[in-house]
Amino acid sequence: MATNEIQENALNNMGVDKTPFAASMLFPLFRATLWGLTGYFAAAWITALLFHTVIVNPLPATVGYVVGLICWLMGSGVWEGWIRRAFGGKEAPTYTGIERYFRFGPDSKSTAVRYVVLNIVTFFLAGMAAMAIRIELLTPDSTSWWLSEIQYNQTFGIHGLMMLLGVVASAIVGGVGYYLIPLMLGTRNVVFPKLLGLSWWLLPPATFAVFMSPTIGGFQTGWWGYPPLAQNSGSGIVWYVLGAATILFASLLGAINIAGTMVYMRAKGMSLGRVPIFVWGLFAAATILVVESPATYTGALMDLSDMIAGSHFYTGPTGHPLAYLDQFWFLFHPEVYVFILPAFAIWLEILPAAAKRPLFARGWAIAGLVGVSMLGAMLGVHHYFTAVSDARMPIFMTITETVSIPTGFIYLSAIGTIWGGRLRINAAVLLVLMAMMNFLIGGLTGIFNADVPADLQLHNTYWVIAHFHYTMLGGVIFSWIAALYWWFPKVTGRKINEFWGKFHAWWFFVFFNCTFFPMFIAGIEGMNRRIAIYLPYLHDINLFMSISSFFLGAGFLIPLANLLYSWRYGPKAEANPWGSNGLEWQIKSPTPYVPYPAGTEPEVVGPNDNYAAEAKEPVIWVPTPSK
Amino acid sequence: MNAAKENLWKAFRGLVVFWIIGLAIGETLMAWGIGNWPILGSIQAHITADATTYLLWQAVAIYVLVGGAVVYSAFRFRASSMSDTAAPAYQARTWAPFVVTWLVLAIGINLANTIYPGMVGLEQLWGIQLDTKNPLVIDVTAQQWKWTFSYPKQGVTDVSQLVVPEGRTIDFVLRTKDVMHDFWVPAWGEKKDVIPNEVRHLFITPTMLGTTATNPMLRVQCSLICGNGHPLMRAPVKVVTPADFKAWVANNSF
């Protein structure tokens, strides 16, 4: 096993700090906020002073954001936990108690819990933006008592960007993945624990900036940020660009950890053939981020440069806006696979344990996950068939349609696993089944957008809105909630309330479909996206969608209450409540700070999905070999 | 094992019945939906709608086959409760006939879809464009947030209403003065982005008389976010007979 200093430290610290929560533990959070805001205003005002402008202008907003971000990171604990030591100073102690949840640190489990909290908060706020959109669309005219057209455009831009980068990008990868990846691979921590810790602390300022962008003028472009509209419709685009680039960089740090941990940190006997399917899903997602995200956040920063530095990459008489589209979609199409591949892997991780069957056609399932991630790199152009030359249409249509073949392997594997099994359906499994049904619609309707002739009509209509909500909300968020329910005992030692879990699953499924299925019809009927005002002949269908969406939105209070209540008062769970053979369930719940004591290592001796009656335990515990 | 196998074949027969019922219901609903399709006002609209409706028939079939298998097997192979932890006898890790059938169908459907409606539709659209000898040229200028149309050969300039004759292929020459826009008449079944510093062409052959007032699908609509005036960046459309078009040109040219 790798023995970097962090792990040595952790091993020596087996006497875990049991101090109960005290308000003083929140100190790093307050300090980070204070330093961050001070840094932002100081830098923005000084820049405004030097350039004889005001702080809401693009340049001061940019400088302020960068300085504020660095100050926030220092305040969160990066200073004494990392930087001070790099310059020869004393390193901070390793925090093993509750206070590690509120400061920068190398512990992957507390980082993952912070991810869950951030995702829930962001989901709530961006969900409120969605409600605001649907209120505006209750009537066809300009609903001026509610939102102006400018505010409406800002609202859907924030909703889109935050739901994508603030929620689904890190919901499963961050909250579920970073918690489980060391436990599933049989190691005590990820390969670069400090980078992983840093990845979370980059997110709050980035999401805060995007939500606050209306205060400096907002942005009108939606979450695409297409030039040249980006440069002439409000300074808020600065925080859109910087927020998006920061979050992409943070997910890159996580991706390096996923890939590195899977390659270098597996327990003895954990051959690639025995790596849990969920880790394969994370790995497939990580490869996408490592290869493709730099091109896209560079493009976003070039967009910013056109605005503050006077360059003309995309704007002006010599600018080439299509180049931005190429760079933007180079990551942002595959990015949806970063969202959905871990969700696929969640299905395939949960179903064998629930059905007591081995994962069917496991090799094909892995080929599906990796195949999607590889093909995904080559097809971003299908997002702008209406903008490209004819020569680019056939090739990108063909590659895009090919993605459905590896995607199908996931369904092949899932159906084969359930078939002939004895499926125990709890709230998590129910949500997984519903996610499969929703994503099936999302995937099949994607073929229409891949097919150029159909796409020339359906592009940028409500058809597309319905399509990607079926994949993102119907696929990823259903799976995310399923994963939170399934691994809840691992994190808290308690179970969620099954009745309210299933009740909400059905509520969610019904109102999700009532909200988004009519959007396919609205798209065919000629309703284009991103409009606050639509023609009266579309009123009835919009009314129906809006009212359904209010029920859908209100329903999310049920799992929120369920998770919060069960965290404190839920029924106590045994270490392995679902009878799973997964390595993460073979240790204590809730996971101790150091998952297994010093001197002990797991050794994997069999597949983790063998549920036959006479099957052997897949893991044995061995003493750590001496160096 | 033998008994378990027999049981699974029996389950499969149930799935086949489930599929047949599902296909009958699904495709009937789809037939009703396609019967209520919005108007198709050009040859191009027929081509793109053919692609869409074909894929709809197919999507319903795949949804029933795959989704039906998920629902059926989850229901048929469910355990009585969470505490019922006995493992089933059937523990096979793979079954080649199923995998091979799946693989062949997946690759086959993909190849078929790329050819039809994908390439066939594109070839038809390109064919109209290439075969047009003498298209009616209309210059379209997009700006925040209005459309302007000029008919260079007819001497009609800067009108805010799009008047076109029925049955003649039109070459829309698309330019923008500021940001990106998208020229779209929903009833004509195709759209094209208008990009700064570039000129784009869209070929449309209207086949149906009508105006925006009689059918709102017949309107020019900006379909790419272009700022706060985006939803109202529309223009009325009037498709008239060639004779009426001549008269309109005579009244509006200089």
Residue A158 in any domain: the answer is: yes
Calculate mean pLDDT across residues A504-528: 96
Instruction: For residue A299, give the nearest of A319, A326, A320 by alpha carbon.
Output: A326
Number of neighbours of residue A18 by Cβ within 10 angstroms: 8
Q: What is the pLDDT of residues B40-83, one digit of tens each?
A: 999 999 999 999 999 999 999 999 999 999 999 999 999 988 88
Would you call B34 helix, strand, or coil by DSSP? helix
| Chain B contact set for A430 (CB, 8 A) | none
Residue A441 and residue B84: Cβ atoms within 8 Å? no
Whether A592 has its CB under 8 Å from any CB of chain B: the answer is no
Question: How many domains are there within chain A?
Answer: 2
Residue B9 in any domain: the answer is: yes
Instruction: Label residue B86 by pLDDT band (50, 70, 90).
Output: confident
pLDDT (0 to 100) of residue B6:
60
Distance CA A5, CA B241 (A): 82
The yes-or-no verdict on residue B4 having pLDDT over 70 is: no
pLDDT (0 to 100) of residue A505:
97
Distance from CA of A238 to the nearest CA of B (A): 16
Q: What is the pLDDT of residues A224-282, one digit of tens each?
A: 999 999 988 889 999 999 999 999 999 999 999 999 999 999 999 999 999 999 999 99
The yes-or-no verdict on residue A158 having pLDDT over 80 is: yes
Residue of A nearest to B104 (CA): A405
Q: What count of CB pairs under 8 Å joins A to B?
A: 264
Q: What is the pLDDT of residues A400-452, one digit of tens each?
A: 999 999 999 999 999 999 999 999 999 999 999 999 999 999 999 999 999 99
Distance from CA of B5 to the nearest CA of A (A): 9
Q: Which residues partner with B136 through β-bridges? A: B170
CB A161, CB A223: distance < 8 Å: yes
Calculate mean pLDDT across residues A493-520: 97
Helix H or strand E encompassing A272 = none
Q: Which residues contact A262 (CB under 8 A, 6 or more apart)?
A: A181, A185, A275, A279, A282, A283
Residue reference for tokens 């994962």: A359
Distance from CA of A67 to the nearest CA of B (A): 30
Residue A424 and residue B90: Cβ atoms within 8 Å? no
Burial class (CB in 10 A: 0-12, 13-18, 19+), B212: buried
Q: Measuring CA to CA, how many Å separate A5 from each of A88, A191, A592? A: 16, 11, 19
pLDDT (0 to 100) of residue B85:
83
Q: What is the CATH number of the domain that holds A251?
A: 1.20.210.10
pLDDT (0 to 100) of residue A17:
73
Q: Which residues contact A232 (CB under 8 A, 6 or more apart)?
A: B178, B179
Residue A526 and residue B59: Cβ atoms within 8 Å? no
| Chain B contact set for A526 (CB, 8 A) | 38, 186-187, 216-217, 221
Calculate mean pLDDT across residues A37-66: 96
| Chain A contact set for B94 (CB, 8 A) | 360-362, 364, 416
CB B163, CB B174: distance < 8 Å: no
The conformation of residue A403, written as its DSSP 8-state character, comes to: T
Residue B141 in any domain: the answer is: yes
Of the partner residues B8, B59, B190, the one whose CB lies closest to the CB of residue A445: B59
Query: Which of A233, A237, A456 would you mutate first to test chain B, the one with the most B CBs within 10 A?
Result: A456
Residue A420 and residue B113: Cβ atoms within 8 Å? no
| Chain B contact set for A320 (CB, 8 A) | 197
CB B175, CB A444: distance < 8 Å: no
Whether A117 has its CB under 8 Å from any CB of chain B: the answer is no
Least reliable range by pLDDT among A289-298, A592-601, B101-110: A592-601
Whether residue B8 sits in one domain with residue B60: yes
The conformation of residue B180, written as its DSSP 8-state character, comes to: -
Residue B229 in any domain: the answer is: yes
Whether residue A140 sits in one domain with residue A76: no
Residue B91 and residue A451: Cβ atoms within 8 Å? no
Whether A451 has its CB under 8 Å from any CB of chain B: the answer is yes
pLDDT (0 to 100) of residue A377:
86
Calculate mean pLDDT across residues B98-104: 97
pLDDT (0 to 100) of residue B136:
96
The yes-or-no verdict on residue A143 having pLDDT over 90 is: no
Q: What is the pLDDT of residues A568-615, one digit of tens each?
A: 999 999 888 998 999 999 888 888 888 877 778 889 999 989 998 888
Q: Measuring CA to CA, how many Å separate A102 from each of A74, A99, A117, A194, A488? A: 14, 6, 12, 15, 20
Q: Which residues partner with A623 through β-bridges? A: A600
Distance CA A47, CA A56 (A): 11
Residue reference for tokens 């819990």: A113
Phi and psi dihedrals of B219, rounded to 5? -150, 150
Residue B107 and residue A405: Cβ atoms within 8 Å? yes
Residue A9 in any domain: the answer is: no
Query: Which of A153, A462, A520, A524 would you mutate first to test chain B, the one with the most B CBs within 10 A?
Result: A524
Using N-to-C axis directions, what is the helix angle for A393-402 and B96-113, rounded to 10°?
160
Residue B244 in any domain: the answer is: yes
Question: What is this model's ipTM?
Answer: 0.95
The yes-or-no verdict on residue A1 having pLDDT over 50 is: no
Residue A273 in any domain: the answer is: yes
Amino acid at B191: K
Q: What is the pLDDT of residues A370-403, one digit of tens each?
A: 999 999 988 899 999 999 999 999 999 999 999 9
Residue of B nearest to A220 (CA): B227
Whether residue B149 sits in one domain with residue B45: no
User: Token pair of A61, please?
Assistant: 């907003």
Query: Which of B15, B39, B98, B110 would you mutate first to test chain A, the one with the most A CBs within 10 A?
Result: B110
Residue B39 in any domain: the answer is: yes
Segment 371-410 of chain A within 8 Å of chain B by CB: 384, 386-387, 390, 393-394, 397-398, 401-402, 404-405, 408-409
| Chain A contact set for B110 (CB, 8 A) | 401-402, 404-405
Residue B83 in any domain: the answer is: no
Q: What is the pLDDT of residues B15-47, one digit of tens each?
A: 999 999 999 999 999 999 999 999 999 999 999
Query: Which of A398, A457, A580 would you mutate first to test chain B, the one with the most B CBs within 10 A?
Result: A457
Identify the sign of the CA torsion B195, B196, B200, B206.
positive
The C-alpha angle with vertex A380 and arms to B232 and A62, in degrees rounded to 5, equals 70
Whether residue B168 sits in one domain with residue B107: no
Average pLDDT, chain A: 92
Residue A29 in any domain: the answer is: no
A601/B244: higher pLDDT: B244
Q: Which residues partner with B238 through β-bridges? A: B163, B211
Amino acid at B40: L
Whether residue A166 sits in one domain with residue A50: no
Whether residue B8 sits in one domain with residue B125: yes
Classify the phi-psi angles of B215: left when phi > 0, otherwise alpha if psi is within -120 to 50, otherwise beta: beta
Calculate mean pLDDT across residues A297-302: 92
Whether residue B198 sits in one domain with residue B212: yes
CB B183, CB B194: distance < 8 Å: yes
The yes-or-no verdict on residue B183 having pLDDT over 70 is: yes
Distance CA B32, CA A512 (A): 23
Instruction: Label residue A95 by pLDDT band (50, 70, 90).
Output: confident
Of the partner residues A226, A232, A459, the one whose CB lies closest to the CB of residue B191: A459
Whether residue A212 sits in one domain with residue A72: no
Q: Measuring CA to CA, how many Å separate A444 from each of A16, A430, B55, B59, B203? A: 51, 21, 9, 6, 29
User: Token pair of B111, please?
Assistant: 């190849």
Distance CA A362, CA A494 (A): 31
Residue reference for tokens 């991103």: A530
Full residue range of the structural domain in which residue A75 is found? 36-93
Residue A3 in any domain: the answer is: no
Calculate mean pLDDT across residues A93-102: 86
HSE (side-chain half, CA atoms, 13 Å) at B1: 3
Question: Quick one: three-class SS letters along A329-355?
Answer: HHHHCHHHHHHHHHHHHHHHHHHHHHH
The yes-or-no verdict on residue A461 having pLDDT over 70 is: yes
pLDDT (0 to 100) of residue A8:
45
Whether residue A602 sits in one domain with residue A517: yes
User: Token pair of A558, please?
Assistant: 């049920």
Q: Which residues partner with B204 through β-bridges? A: B170
Counted residue by residue, chain A has a size of 627
Distance from CA of A227 to the nearest CA of B (A): 7
Residue of A nearest to B65 (CA): A440
Residue A526 and residue B216: Cβ atoms within 8 Å? yes
CB A178, CB A110: distance < 8 Å: no
The yes-or-no verdict on residue A30 having pLDDT over 80 is: yes
Amino acid at A568: R
Whether residue A110 sits in one domain with residue A88: no
The C-alpha angle with vertex A23 and arms to A18 and A24, in degrees rounded to 5, equals 80
Whether A320 has its CB under 8 Å from any CB of chain B: the answer is yes
Whether residue A399 sits in one domain with residue A290: yes
CB A516, CB A470: distance < 8 Å: yes
Residue B248 in any domain: the answer is: yes
Residue A11 in any domain: the answer is: no
Distance CA B70, CA A412 (A): 10
Whether residue A120 sits in one domain with residue A45: no
Distance from CA of B253 to the nearest CA of A (A): 32
Instruction: Label residue A10 by pLDDT band (50, 70, 90).
Output: very low
Domain boundary among A93, A114, A142: A93
B190-194 and B200-204 beta bridge pairing: unpaired
The conformation of residue A591, written as its DSSP 8-state character, comes to: P
CB B219, CB B238: distance < 8 Å: no
Least reliable range by pLDDT among A15-19, A108-112, A362-366, B101-105: A15-19
Whether residue B62 sits in one domain with residue B174: no
Residue A422 and residue B87: Cβ atoms within 8 Å? yes
The yes-or-no verdict on residue A11 having pLDDT over 70 is: no
Would you call B125 helix, strand, or coil by DSSP? helix
Whether residue A595 sits in one domain with residue A545: yes
Whether residue B119 sits in one domain with residue B7: yes
CB A289, CB A251: distance < 8 Å: yes
Residue A15 in any domain: the answer is: no
Residue B197 and residue A358: Cβ atoms within 8 Å? no
Whether residue B122 sits in one domain with residue B155: no
| Chain B contact set for A321 (CB, 8 A) | 180, 195-197
Whether residue B62 sits in one domain with residue B144: no
Instruction: Label residue B5 by pLDDT band (50, 70, 90).
Output: low
Would you call A156 helix, strand, or coil by DSSP? helix
Domain boundary among A93, A114, A132: A93
Q: What is the pLDDT of residues A99-122, one digit of tens each?
A: 899 999 899 999 999 999 999 999
Residue B73 and residue A418: Cβ atoms within 8 Å? yes
Q: Tell me the percentage of chain A whose pLDDT exceeds 90.
A: 82
First CA to last CA distance, chain A: 9
Distance from CA of A351 to the nearest CA of B (A): 10
Across the beta sheet with B136-143, the strand order is B156-159, B146-151, B136-143, B170-176, B200-204
pLDDT (0 to 100) of residue A269:
92
The yes-or-no verdict on residue B3 having pLDDT over 50 is: no
Would you call A452 helix, strand, or coil by DSSP? helix
Phi and psi dihedrals of B172, rounded to 5? -80, 120
Whether residue A378 sits in one domain with residue A241: yes
Residue reference for tokens 């996923």: A258
Whether residue A177 sits in one domain with residue A64: no
Distance CA A203, CA A201 (A): 5
| Chain B contact set for A448 (CB, 8 A) | 51-52, 55, 59
pLDDT (0 to 100) of residue B99:
96
Residue A149 and residue B38: Cβ atoms within 8 Å? no
Query: Which of B203, B224, B226 would you mutate first to test chain A, the one with the most A CBs within 10 A?
Result: B224
Helix H or strand E encompassing A81 = none
Residue of A nearest to B82 (CA): A424
The yes-or-no verdict on residue B154 having pLDDT over 90 is: yes
Whether residue A80 sits in one domain with residue A58: yes
Q: Which residues contact B137 (CB under 8 A, 6 or more apart)?
A: B151, B152, B153, B170, B171, B173
Residue B78 and residue A424: Cβ atoms within 8 Å? yes
CB A491, CB A590: distance < 8 Å: yes
Residue B94 in any domain: the answer is: no
Question: How many domains are there within chain B?
Answer: 2
Whether residue B248 sits in one domain with residue B149: yes
Whether residue B125 sits in one domain with residue B145: no
Residue of B nearest to A439 (CA): B67
pLDDT (0 to 100) of residue A5:
42
Whether residue A190 sits in one domain with residue A233: yes
Of the partner residues A321, A423, A537, the one whose CB lies closest to the CB of residue B196: A321
Q: Which residues partner with A423 through β-bridges? A: B78
Residue A26 in any domain: the answer is: no
Residue B198 and residue A318: Cβ atoms within 8 Å? no
Whether residue B163 sits in one domain with residue B206: yes
pLDDT (0 to 100) of residue A4:
38
| Chain A contact set for B5 (CB, 8 A) | none
User: Token pair of B231, please?
Assistant: 């939803």
Residue B121 and residue A453: Cβ atoms within 8 Å? yes
Full residue range of the structural domain in which residue B161 is found? 136-252
Identify the sign of the CA torsion A373, A378, A382, A387.
positive
Question: Quick one: three-class SS letters along B96-120?
Answer: HHHHHHHHHHHHHHHHHHHHHHHHH
CB B49, CB B37: distance < 8 Å: yes
Distance CA A482, CA A566 (A): 15
Counted residue by residue, chain B has a size of 254
